[in-house]
Amino acid sequence: MSKVSEPLNLVDENQVEEPLDFKMIDLPVMILFWALMCIVFLQFFTRYILNDSLAWTEEIARFLLVLVGFVGSITAVRKGSHIFLEFLYRFIPASLAKVLSIVSEIVCVAFYSACAWMSSSIALQTHQTLVSVELPKSYLYWIIAFCFVAMSLYSVAKAVIKMKLSSDQIVSTIEEQATSV
């Protein structure tokens, strides 16, 4: 005879639902994501259901995926959700943590700015159009350059904010970010 056990209690009553952190700057990535989803569905539908795929869907889906990555990075920089070594901040003095955090933001600004410059250089040199649609490829690189500029500006703002905060506030912010799921 088998023994009937109690069902697992998978509900945590202490769990607090975090409010949605959505700003208008996040709207373009949502639109691009939904456009990508529709194009991929159209590609799947025409290829596997109708047995006659549309030629332009694969190229457009590829470029939309690239744009979702770069435009979505603006949101990641705004929220501070890019990967970093918060483990290190727990074992160094708070004053050093503040300096390291500010230097990290300055390095990010330099990196994003260099990438913006390189993207705009590529955009100026690109004179091709997409294969399946008469759309210049340089538009893609200009959008990527804009994304890097936006990431640079957010990193500058975060660096300025970190300069104004005390060392303990920065460490507690990093601790809070590290322990949040």
C-alpha 63/C-alpha 128 separation (Å) is 14
Q: Which of 40, 42, 31, 41 is nearest to 67 (CA)?
A: 31
Lowest mean pLDDT among 45-54, 76-85, 98-107: 76-85
Percent of the chain at pLDDT exceeding 90? 61
- Rounded mean pLDDT of 68-93? 85
- Rounded mean pLDDT of 70-88? 85
C-alpha 38/C-alpha 44 separation (Å) is 10
- Rounded mean pLDDT of 124-140? 93
C-alpha 122/C-alpha 22 separation (Å) is 32
Left if phi > 0, otherwise alpha if psi is -120 to 50, otherwise beta: which for 164?
alpha
Q: What is the mean pLDDT of the chain?
A: 88
pLDDT tens-place string over residues 91-114: 888 889 899 999 999 999 999 999
| Residue 38: other Cβ atoms inside 10 A | 13
Residue 6: pLDDT band with limits 50, 70, 90 = confident
- Rounded mean pLDDT of 160-181? 84
C-alpha 61/C-alpha 66 separation (Å) is 9
pLDDT at 9: 67
